[in-house]
Amino acid sequence: MCGDATNWDEDAYRETVVREREIQTRTVFRTAWAPPYTSNLDTLLVASSDGSVASYSISSSVAASKLKNPFGFVNADTDELLAEPNCFVQAHAGPAYDVKFYGDGEDALLLSCGDDGQIRGWRWKEFSSSNYSVSSQGNDIKPVLDVVNPQHKGPWGALSPVPENNAIAVNTQGGSVFAASGDSCAYCWDVETGKVKMVFKGHMDYLHCIVARNSSNQIITGSEDGTTRIWDCKSGKCTQVIDPARDLKLKGSASWVGCVALDASESWLACSSGRNISLWNLPASECVSKIPTRACVQDMSFDNNQILTVGTDPLLNRFDMNGTILSQIQCAPSSSFSISLHPAGVMAVGGYGCLVDVISQFGSHMCTFRCQCV
């Protein structure tokens, strides 16, 4: 039986289809829990491919999930919530790739970086207490830090495009924020003055990741060139080059370093190279474990003496330090880019489809929600 097409609105239908496709293809690139010593410890920050940074109340999302699905069985295709953010900012003109906190408590700064080459920072107290406003798109919250990567001069004075920032790390004692950039350099910015303090040069290709080893006044970077480099922040010189692909005997396109992670003691370093992880004892400068994975690893984190990984398959993996897999948990995103661990043991996994999966320390799914377009 044919429907009545008298009032058919072709333009509205096309807009609806485009909007649905945009939602399905949006990606969460980074999640981060609110800093310690604040009143909103259950708040999760999300950096997305539309350039937004938004905060979500996990307790509210869990409550809403139980109302929608009282039996607790989650089907990622049908049962995810369209969550309403507590607050957001349109942080970047292009994808937002990372969020970090500089400091603890209400006086912390919320930092983000993105494809536009900027690093921006907001006072967490102001951000967390602001009212959600769709019309303002967060523009009423003014950043206290707003810096952009320098452009390089070419022939006849021509300037290069502004290189993107793919990841950031912080050192509060040194008053610094570090950026892994697309021009194969890492930059050290002074938080107070907003000026570049140091440029770390040596990689042959763009940087994917960066972590700060503050106990030794060092940073560690991972690059598309297949190496991980350890840098002295005082001199700006590279003190050690780690080549996971050489040690793992990898060849070809699987040799990039996609992510790195430090444990709490800053003595153990995990490096991902495609479908492999190498675990390094930094004081001994020795690779002690080689861990094959089912899919390419896109983010990882230490949980005491265990390693959590997510990647290009819908699984959250947990390994011990010897590379033995301890558990695998099905996740809502078909491909995940971020795993963040709450001090209470709760894990947040974000990825493709702008989905965030919140998993308890016992491995049960607390809620799954889809971030709202802004």
- Give tens-digit pLDDT for 58-86: 987 777 665 445 444 445 444 567 778 98
User: Does 339 fall in a domain?
Assistant: no
Give the CATH number of the domain where residue 196 resides: 2.130.10.10
**pLDDT average, residue stretch 153-160:** 77
Give mean pLDDT, residues 336-351: 96
Single pTM value for the model: 0.89
Domain span holding position 97: 68-150+163-333
pLDDT given for residue 248 in this prediction: 59
Is residue 32 in some structural domain?
A: no
The answer as to whether 26 is a domain residue is no
Structure confidence by residue, pLDDT tens digits, 101-143: 999 998 999 999 999 999 999 999 999 887 655 445 556 788 9
Quote the mean pLDDT of the chain. 88
Is 31 inside any structural domain?
Answer: no
219-240 pLDDT, tens digit per residue, is 999 999 999 999 999 999 999 9
Q: What type of residue is 87?
A: C
Residue 36 lies inside a defined structural domain of this protein:
no
Distance of CA 349 to the CA centre of its chain: 10
Burial (CB count <10 Å: 0-12, 13-18, 19+), residue 115 = buried
Tokens describing residue 36: 């310690």
Is 132 within a domain?
Answer: yes
Q: What is the tens place of the pLDDT at every residue in 279-336?
A: 999 999 999 999 999 999 999 999 999 999 999 999 999 999 999 999 999 999 999 9
How does pLDDT run across 191-200, given as a tens digit for each residue? 999 999 999 9
Asked if the structure places residue 83 within a domain, the reply is yes
Residue 27 lies in a domain: no
Number of domains the chain contains: 1
